[in-house]
């Protein structure tokens, strides 16, 4: 039985033991009601249509009717289909769990916008607070990208130990990294030992330099991270 504060979740994972373990972990928090646990992309889309959950948590690789033996990137495809059906289904947050730290997969998830989407590496399942945080964020229309994905791409772009590859300052790059961790301005201020007003100025400068519009359809904090990573 759910309470008004309980989030209704559809869980999609093709490996039964992983699926059941994740379901039990989520429900043990008392904050999540897993209304369906499914093993294929088709079952996920069907459950989303029938049950209209608050959030879908899906593995990035799922068997599909076209190829039930060799899983493809069906989790990301399902996320796009759920967004496309928002007029009929309502807004459903999506958390994609992936074994791939290469940012190209995250960028694919966010290609049509960042609102209500999260891309986490699968080892985050063991950190229930981080997984719950992502679920809460996408349910509220926010977005999350795994910090390891951001750090890996920033390292590839030569940010560490060298001049910034864009007109973002080194301090703005620091702020951008903390945005990827999902920190608020206050949290970033504490991490970087700066005032909240200083962080607000850096954040606004980042938005301006990356030409991000203040639209209700765009979660600008993660959009800033995606815009920067996608530019390389």
Contact assessment for residue 2 and residue 28, using Cβ atoms and an 8 Å cutoff: no
Task: For residues 26 and 95, give the distance between their C-alpha atoms in angstroms, rounded to a whole number.
Answer: 13
Task: For residues 121 and 222, give the distance between their C-alpha atoms in angstroms, rounded to a whole number.
Answer: 16
Q: How far is CA 208 from the centre of its chain?
A: 23
Task: For residues 11 and 37, give the distance between their C-alpha atoms in angstroms, rounded to a whole number.
Answer: 5
Quick one: pLDDT at residue 230? 61
Q: What angle do CA 204, 110, 58 make, to 5 degrees?
A: 130
Quick one: pLDDT at residue 218? 46
Contact assessment for residue 54 and residue 139, using Cβ atoms and an 8 Å cutoff: yes
Q: How many CB atoms lie within 10 A of CB 57?
A: 30
Looking at every residue in the chain, the average pLDDT score rounds to 80
pLDDT category at 216 given cuts 50, 70, 90 is very low
pLDDT tens-digit profile of 102-159?
A: 777 887 888 777 788 899 998 878 888 889 989 998 998 888 888 777 776 666 554 4
pLDDT tens-digit profile of 49-97?
A: 999 999 999 999 876 655 554 445 678 888 888 888 877 777 899 999 9
Quick one: pLDDT at residue 217? 43
Q: What angle do CA 13, 15, 17 make, to 5 degrees?
A: 110
pLDDT tens-digit profile of 144-203?
A: 888 777 776 666 554 444 444 457 888 998 888 787 666 778 889 999 999 999 999 998
105 contact partners, CB below 8 Å, separation of at least 6: 60, 73, 76, 98, 119
């Amino acid at each position: 039985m759910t309470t008004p504060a309980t989030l209704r979740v559809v869980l999609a994972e093709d490996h039964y033991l992983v699926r059941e373990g994740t379901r039990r972990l989520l429900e043990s928090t008392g904050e999540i009601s897993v209304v369906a646990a499914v093993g294929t992309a088709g079952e996920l889309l069907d459950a989303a249509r029938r049950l209209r959950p608050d959030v879908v948590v899906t593995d990035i690789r799922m068997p599909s009717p076209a190829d039930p033996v060799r899983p493809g990137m069906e989790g990301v495809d399902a996320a796009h289909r759920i967004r496309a059906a928002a007029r009929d289904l309502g807004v459903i947050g999506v958390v994609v769990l992936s074994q791939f730290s290469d940012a190209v997969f995250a960028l694919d998830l966010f290609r049509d916008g960042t609102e209500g989407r999260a891309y986490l590496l699968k080892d985050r399942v063991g950190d229930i607070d981080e997984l719950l945080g992502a679920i809460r964020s996408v349910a509220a229309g926010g977005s999350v990208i795994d910090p390891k994905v951001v750090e890996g791409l920033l390292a590839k772009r030569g940010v560490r130990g060298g001049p910034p590859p864009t007109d973002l300052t080194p301090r703005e790059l620091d702020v951008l990294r903390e945005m990827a961790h999902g920190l608020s301005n206050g949290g970033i201020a504490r991490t970087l030992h700066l005032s909240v007003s200083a962080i607000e100025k850096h954040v606004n400068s980042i938005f301006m330099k990356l030409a991000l519009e203040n639209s209700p359809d765009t979660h600008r904090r993660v959009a800033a991270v995606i815009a920067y990573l996608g530019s390389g």
